[in-house]
Structure 1
């Protein structure tokens, strides 16, 4: 089986590629070839057990996607996107990458099917990472998969259109699409990025290694989270699941954990003590607060759970995953 990861330099792309390269599987199915794609060349493991190709392409360019689909991967993980804050600040860039790049890919898949005159010749599984930002208020207490999509940011709008395209191209038989509305991934490793939600990770990540962090919103802010480890499991499961069980609703709310900032902080206190808490500096940022206020706070993920997707049940668990995976230790 040939797997392609578009957005392979990003945090989730790197982790997904590492798991596939190490296990030589995608959720139990054997992988014989892996192609990594991003705007820069992704690092590849030394002495891999199967061919791994790393390509530098910009998916927003119209000629890129056909070069990828002619390789005919069996599974395409479409992770390429710019994050929420950057998409809001740079309108043209957000639409070029998050929307146009997605449309170029889906259209290239459709045209690749027709290239040899055989409509049944190519129909890959496409796993598209969407976002809870597709929803807009006013919100009920919890959001289901069927809650209407009325995004209140450019990023959410771009992801919502991507979901609709995924459903239509799947309905027409051009591909086998599965959309995942990811929770905010926490704790993200590495340096802070331009995501409006980045502080949810930084208020835990930095204090865990003795560094200060800035908190731009009130402690009462509630949000929906899952760890990077859980997100990679979501992707792998979506790559090989029985998609016929999705029917025409191809995008799922992923499981996660609804928690307030105060609950995050208390989990950090439990794991790392008061010295870590003292490193959190409260510096209100109205722009970030406004973006976060437009996002829903709690979800039902019954469909995804019934289909075998799983996430953490407490923030102590999320912190423990970060310590084990990124800091080389355990919280115990």
Structure 2
């Protein structure tokens, strides 16, 4: 089995690759080769199988074709420009999030056997805001360029799947917390920062109120969902290949309550109208009924999320930050 991770240098791509390396196979099948592809060459990975590390442009059909060679069984399409960056730079967001997806379709349709494609879409492809509890059949009405690009990519991939060019599962990821490393340009970056920075002993701004609710998942659970989607029976999906996975609806105040008083004191209120304007339109909760029936595991509570971060990423984050 050959597997490709587009966005293999990103934090979820690295975690997915490490999990595959630890397990040595997927669904009982050994991995013959793993390709990690990103804008910069991904870091080396110790694995019991060959690992190719490629640098390239996901919007380049030629570059993506090199990353998805003949015999590829599974493509994890994680490559993206994040929300606030896509909103600030429309051309960059379109190039990576939309035209990059077209390059993935082009690469997959050239393979003799259509591969399973796991695409990471986003809750940002929906509207509804703080009062929403969206059912599975809710329409995608994004209020930002990132969400629009993700929704458009979903539709194009689903049509390619319908035509037999690939076998798609689109997972509309919740906000993933706690992200290791440093803050990034995602509008939702603060959701990780208000937990991660206090654990590092650092102050951090809070751009929304403590009553702000958000739909979240942990990196561990996200990788679980990716691996399940890579091997699940897709026949029950029909032509609707989008899945709202069972994340966790939680308020900022509830997240802060999981910190010690000293840690919580490091989070300072600093309203940001731009950030609030982007994330305020995202739904606060999904029913996720379909995903549960399809075998996607639900997200555990905030204490479990924090425990996983301490175990998996706190030490590495300290080292990365020179602490």
TM-score interval for Structure 1 and Structure 2 normalised by the shorter chain: over 0.9
Against the structure 1 CA distance between its residues 35 and 62, is the aligned structure 2 distance closer, same or farther, given a 3 Å change threshold? closer
Q: Is the 8 A contact 2:246 2:292 kept in 1?
A: yes
Q: Deviations over 1:91-121 (max 9, x none)?
A: 00000000000011102222x14xxxxxxx3
3-state SS of paired residue (1:201): helix
Q: Which runs of 5+ in 2 are unaligned?
A: 317-323
Structure 2 CA distance for aligned equivalents of residues 23 and 313 of structure 1: 23
Match of 1:116 in 2: none
Give the corresponding residue for 2:72.
73
**1:222-281, Cα deviation, whole Å (9 max, x unpaired):** 11000000001111111111111211110100111101111111122xxxx211011111
Distance 1:252 1:45 in 2: 30
- What does residue 312 of structure 2 align with? 325
What is the aligned partner in structure 1 of residue 142 from structure 2? 151
Partner residue of 1:26? 26
| Secondary structure at 1:225 match in 2 | strand
* Residue matched to 2:52: 53
Secondary structure at the aligned position of 1:158 is classed as helix
Tell me which residue corresponds to 1:260.
251
Unaligned runs of 5+ in 1: 114-120
Match of 2:293 among 296, 306, 311: 306
Q: Distance in 1 between matches of 2:209 and 2:25?
A: 43
* CA–CA distance in structure 2, aligned partners of residues 63 and 4 of structure 1: 15
Q: Is the 8 A contact 2:129 2:284 kept in 1?
A: no
Aligned partner of residue 63 in structure 1, secondary structure? helix
Write out per-residue CA displacement over residues 134-159 of structure 1, whole angstroms, 9 at most, x where no aligned residue: 11237864112210111110000000
Q: 1:198 to 1:87 in 2, by over 3 A?
A: same
Q: 1:170, CA displacement in angstroms? A: 0.7
Q: Deviations over 1:35-91 (max 9, x none)?
A: 110111111224x31111101111112422233333431100000001000000000
Asked if residue 293 in structure 1 is aligned to residue 284 in structure 2, the reply is no
In the other structure, the counterpart of 1:280 is 267
Please report how far the alpha carbon of residue 328 of structure 1 lies from its aligned counterpart in structure 2 after TM superposition.
5.8
SS of 2:188's equivalent?
helix
Match of 1:130, SS state, is strand
Quote how far apart the aligned CAs of 1:27 are.
4.3
1:89 and 1:278 map into 2 onto residues whose CA distance is: 31
> Is the Cα contact below 8 Å between 1:78 and 1:129 reproduced in 2?
yes
| Alignment equivalent of 1:223, drawn from 204, 214, 238 | 214
- Does residue 115 of structure 2 align to residue 99 of structure 1? no
- Other-structure match for 1:2: 2
Say which SS state the counterpart of residue 173 (structure 1) adopts.
coil
**1:133–1:155: 8 Å Cα contact kept in structure 2?**
yes
Partners of 1:103 and 1:81 lie apart in 2 by 13
The counterpart of 1:129, out of the listed 108, 120, 123, is 120
CA distance in 1 between counterparts of 2:28 and 2:174 reads 25
C-alpha distance in 1 between matches for 2:298 and 2:199: 22
SS at match of 1:188: coil
CA distance in 2, matches of 1:161, 1:50: 35
Q: TM-score normalized by structure 1?
A: 0.92
> Could you say what the CA RMSD is over the residues aligned between the two structures, in angstroms?
1.6
Task: Work out whether residues 131 and 284 of structure 2, in 8 Å CA contact, stay in contact via their aligned partners in 1.
Answer: no
Secondary structure of residue in 2 paired with 1:196: coil
Does structure 2 conserve the Cα–Cα contact (< 8 Å) formed by 1:24 and 1:32?
no
